[in-house]
Structure 1
Amino acid sequence: MIDNIQIQIPSLPENIRIVESFIDNAKDQYQLNDDIYGNIMIAVTESVNNAIVHGNRSDSKKNVHLQLALEESQIKFTIEDEGPGFDYSNLPDPTLPENISKPGGRGIFLMKNLCDEVSFKKDGRVAELSFYLS
């Protein structure tokens, strides 16, 4: 079974609620266990928030596109913004002492620790977050 569901939201922080509902619906529809559900909720909302704030610079005329693809053994979320992208290969490590007290920089670190696979495409405008179902 392969499913593919997509939504698009304007870049407003309050639209994170729509993303949370989208993930809740996926949990119910695919009977996701609580561990995977928790990881998905944190990682995907963090990624969408990054797309809104950093990618689209909170410009409500720009959208964030969220896609869920269910494959046999994994569920993959693709988050795409309409911003300029970023250099995802050269991010500071938030666990280093000089970065511990900085307010930002933990989102991608969190995503990499909660997802089974994370990849970036289109100069960083697209994040793909994969979770194994078994």
Structure 2
Amino acid sequence: MDSINIEIPSLSENIRIIESFIDNVKDKFNLNDDIYGNIMIAVTESVNNAINHGNKKDKSKNVSITMNYSEDEIKFIVSDEGEGFDYNHLPDPTAPENIDKPSGRGIFLMKHLCDEIEFKSEGSVAELTFYLN
């Protein structure tokens, strides 16, 4: 299994670095557009959550992204230095009382775009898996 790791300070503008990283992954592994699109949205959303919620935009704290690649799947592990969150009890963004809220859709979206998603370390680590076949 191939593995690539990058680390960024918790600044919103560093999302561009992640987008370039994913573009490079697409080219290197010749990913199809559907998988590429899902990865781009889900991973940037996860990194955004890590910056804004996990590390609370503290630029002295880093977000680490590790990509593991095998013949069958590609996995992104996004880690922050925050305390984590209760990922088992998230409000449903499709519930009528939450429809107009500006936040709360990220993890819902990530769950629909990934083939597997798992949270570890109280939620400060997200593992996003995409099947290639």
Is 1:128 aligned to residue 130 of structure 2? no
In the alignment, the residues of structure 2 paired with residue 104 and residue 70 of structure 1 have an alpha-carbon distance, to the nearest angstrom, of 31
- Compute the RMSD of aligned alpha carbons: 0.4
Residue 90 of structure 2: aligned partner: 91
Q: How far apart are 1:86 and its partner, in Å?
A: 0.3
- The C-alpha deviation readout for 1:30-80, integer Å capped at 9, x for no partner, is 000000000000000000000000000000000000000002200000000
Equivalences for residues 84-123 of structure 1 within 5 A: 84-123=83-122
SS in 1 for 2:103: coil
Q: Percent identity?
A: 69
Matched to 2:101, the amino acid is K
In the alignment, the residues of structure 1 paired with residue 55 and residue 108 of structure 2 have an alpha-carbon distance, to the nearest angstrom, of 20
Residue 8 of structure 1: aligned partner: 7
TM-score normalized by the length of structure 2: 0.99
Is 1:75 aligned to residue 69 of structure 2? no
Is 1:30 aligned to residue 29 of structure 2? yes
In the alignment, the residues of structure 1 paired with residue 58 and residue 67 of structure 2 have an alpha-carbon distance, to the nearest angstrom, of 24
Runs of 4+ more than 2 Å apart: none
In the alignment, the residues of structure 1 paired with residue 24 and residue 12 of structure 2 have an alpha-carbon distance, to the nearest angstrom, of 20
In the alignment, the residues of structure 1 paired with residue 14 and residue 38 of structure 2 have an alpha-carbon distance, to the nearest angstrom, of 19
Aligned length: 133
In the alignment, the residues of structure 1 paired with residue 51 and residue 35 of structure 2 have an alpha-carbon distance, to the nearest angstrom, of 24
Q: Unpaired segments of 5 or more residues in structure 2?
A: none
Matched to 2:28, the amino acid is Q
In the alignment, the residues of structure 2 paired with residue 128 and residue 38 of structure 1 have an alpha-carbon distance, to the nearest angstrom, of 17
Matched to 1:99, the amino acid is N
Q: Unpaired segments of 5 or more residues in structure 1?
A: none
Equivalences for residues 48-63 of structure 1 within 5 A: 48-63=47-62
